[in-house]
Structure 1
Amino acid sequence: MSPELHLILILVLRMMVAAAFVVTASIITERSGPVIGALVATLPVSAGPSYVFLALDHDAAFIAQGALSSLPVNAATIFMCLTYVVLAQRRSLLVSCGSAVAVWIVFASIIKQFDWPLTAGLAANLIAFGICIPLLAGYRHVKMPLVTRRWYDVPMRAALVATLVAIVVSTSGWVGPRISGIIALYPVVFSSIMVILHPRIGGPPTAAVLANSAWGLLGFGMAIAVLHVAVAWFGSAVGLGLALATCIVWNLTLWGIGRRTLHRARQAP
């Protein structure tokens, strides 16, 4: 087998693995309502495979540096969500989603211009979420209509994530860790939720999924910080595992708090 064919086959395999992740998460999201769907959507469904495959091709220093760029990009993502949520109440998919993606691109372009130390990335997240979480709170509670999946839903989501992984892996060698960390954090899952659900169930219910994702996305930012520190100390494999564990524990905690709050509300006279 030629080296070129070997590389192509490895890339295709990586794309298929990433696609399987997002398909599974997407199905759970549709069947579980906006709260559980938001918690699943904020797991590292697309960024996780991208970083795993980057770790197979690069050393721990590359991954740690990439995580430093990814951390402020997480703050850009919450502003993207806020933009969509507000506009989706009355505007079309094209206006709402297009404006949200444009906001993300603008923030990502600004982030790319600087070297971000860990403290600055954490501060950016604290400021961004401190602004956005209260603003999103009023859009969280919307009844989710029944979603009927269409034949192209799963292939489209799988193709989006597979394409992202292909771009990250194939360009990482020449764009470096900073750009790779930014590209890896492009919110593919959120974009697919907008594109697929908005025309079918309307803007407000779709926006509710993203509004409920704010706290989960905050935990995702914490996981990126853990990734940077743990990779530097313990290597890529341990760092990736600890970052994933951070996301899972954080989201399970949010789920448990939500269940207790709902239980108390039902028992109240």
Structure 2
Amino acid sequence: MIDADWLPLLIRAAAASGVVVLASLVAERVGPFFGGLIATLPVSTGPAYVLLAIDHDDAFIAGAALSSVVTNVSMIAFLVALVLASPRCRMPVSLGGSIALWIGLAAALKLLPWSVAGALAANAAAYALAFLLVRRSPPAPVTRRAVPRWYDVPLRAVLVGLLVVGVTTASSWIGPAATGIGAIFPIALSSLTAVVHQRLGGAAASATMRGAVIANPGFLLSVLTVHLLAVPAGRWGALAAGLAVSLGWSAGLLVWKRRQAAAG
């Protein structure tokens, strides 16, 4: 028998897992750029913030969102590491090394005091370096066909569910700064990378994360919006606005990609 206190959290975690699984399944089938675009949508961070908003006030959500803005520097490094390492290394090495880089940078960034201006400056520098490195590493052709594995979908569902449960449960003890870091741990991108690498090879995983690098600024603007609006507009209005910003950025990229294809 499941304790009644845990039932709402488990239901929400299952719902979040379903959203991420659906997004990652679509991402695998629409090509590297669009796969990265879909995977970068706040499909795991969004549900985590919704759960946090149920249990915490506007100021807590604002503080967590600022921490997420800062930690996005780690996300950029994580994506670039996957772009560069996936075609050259086996999946456990490339993914494990990228996750270790994310954790190390996130821990280092947490030690420093941050303002909104400082966080945005750090992200701007990270983007400049990221786009330079990615541009200098041309994408390799994808030559492997997908090989379905029975455990792909259940594994992704379990990983995302654990993230949502863990961040929400621990938030009362670890405070808004650490909560904001945990909320954007790249569990959806990691699980997608593992699946694509196994099914299609390192070149496909690299190309997918290349698309995620281009789409990531939309995520940054989304959590920045939540931080700026959580106190004056209320956390629910801020979360809605953050989602709209993320979707707007993605829609703009789709239009740009279509025009680019038409011009080519």
Per the TM superposition, whether the score is higher than 0.5 is yes
Give the residue type in structure 1 aligned to 2:160. Answer: V
CA contact (8 A) 1:125 1:218 kept: no
Q: Could you say which residue in structure 2 is the equivalent of 1:220?
A: 219
Q: CA deviation at 1:166?
A: 0.5
Name the CA distance, whole Å, in 2 between partners of 1:145 and 1:139.
Answer: 18
Q: Would you say the 8 A contact 1:30–1:147 is kept in 2? A: no
1:121 equivalenced with 2:105 (yes/no): no
Greater shift in the superposed pair: 198-207 or 19-28: 198-207
Corresponding residue pairs, total: 263
TM-score by length of 2: 0.95
Q: Is the 8 A contact 2:139 2:203 kept in 1?
A: no
The superposition leaves residues 242-268 of structure 1 with CA deviations (integer Å, 9 ceiling, x where unpaired) of 000000000110111011011011xxx
- In the TM superposition, residue 116 of structure 1 has moved relative to its aligned partner by 1.9
Who is 2:247 aligned against? 248
Point out the more displaced range, 131-140 or 60-69.
Answer: 131-140
Q: Secondary structure at the match of 2:4?
A: helix
- Residue type matched to 2:246 in 1? C
Following superposition, the deviation at residue 144 of structure 1 comes to: 6.9
Aligned-partner residue type, residue 180 of structure 2:
G
- What is the CA distance between 1:141 and its match in structure 2? 6.6
**Alpha-carbon separation, structure 2, partners of 1:201 and 1:243:** 33
**Range moving further from structure 2, 174-183 or 193-202:** 193-202
| Aligned: 1:158 with 2:171 | no
In 1, Cα distance between the equivalents of 2:188 and 2:90?
19
Map of 2:202 onto structure 1: 203
CA contact (8 A) 1:34 1:144 kept: no
| 1:5 counterpart SS class | coil
Determine the C-alpha separation between the residues in 1 that align with 2:194 and 2:122: 28
The alpha-carbon distance between structure 1 residues 129 and 176, as it changes in their structure 2 partners (threshold 3 A), is same
Q: Which residue of the partner structure matches residue 132 of structure 1?
A: 130
Q: Percent identical across equivalent pairs?
A: 37
Kept after mapping to 2: 8 A contact 1:60/1:236: yes
Q: 1:195 to 1:57 in 2, by over 3 A?
A: same
TM-score by length of 1: 0.93
The one-letter code of the counterpart of 1:101 is I
Structure 1 residue runs of 5 or longer lacking an equivalent are none
Amino acid at match of 2:168: V
**Which amino acid in the other structure matches residue 213 of structure 1?**
A
- 1:55-76 per-residue CA deviation (whole Å, 9 max, x = no partner) reads 0000010000001100111111
**3-state DSSP of counterpart to 1:237:** helix
Equivalent position of 2:189 in the other structure: 190
Contact residue 79 and residue 103 of structure 1 kept, 8 A? yes
Secondary structure of the 2:226 match is: helix
Question: Is the partner of 2:18 in helix, strand or coil?
Answer: helix
**Structure 1 residues 199 and 143, CA gap change in structure 2 (3 angstroms):** closer
Question: For residue 159 of structure 2, what is the amino acid of its counterpart?
Answer: L
CA contact (8 A) 1:216 1:251 kept: yes
2:166 is matched with 167
User: One-letter code of the match for 1:125?
Assistant: N
Mapping for residues 20-99 of structure 1, pairs under 5 Å: 20-99=18-97
The 2-side partners of 1:127 and 1:178 are apart by 22
C-alpha distance after superposition, 1:117-168 (max 9, x if no partner): 1111111111101110222134457447442432211111111110000011
| CA deviation string 1:49-95 (max 9, x = no partner) | 00000000000100000011001111111111111221222211122
Offset, 1:6: 2.4
Given that 2:28 and 2:196 are in contact with CA atoms closer than 8 Å, whether structure 1 keeps it comes out as no
Q: Give the Å deviation of 1:42.
A: 0.7
Whether the aligned pair in 1 keeps the contact of 2:62 and 2:231 (CA below 8 Å) is yes
**Structure 2: unaligned runs, 5 residues or longer:** none
How far apart, CA to CA, are the structure 1 residues paired with 2:139 and 2:252? Answer: 18
* Aligned twin of 1:109: 107
- The one-letter code sitting in structure 1 at the alignment partner of 2:163 is L
Contact 1:139/1:211 (8 A) holds in 2: no
Distance 1:238 1:30, change over 3 A: same
> Would you say the 8 A contact 1:140–1:209 is kept in 2?
no
Question: RMSD of aligned C-alpha atoms?
Answer: 1.6
CA distance in 2, matches of 1:233, 1:142: 49
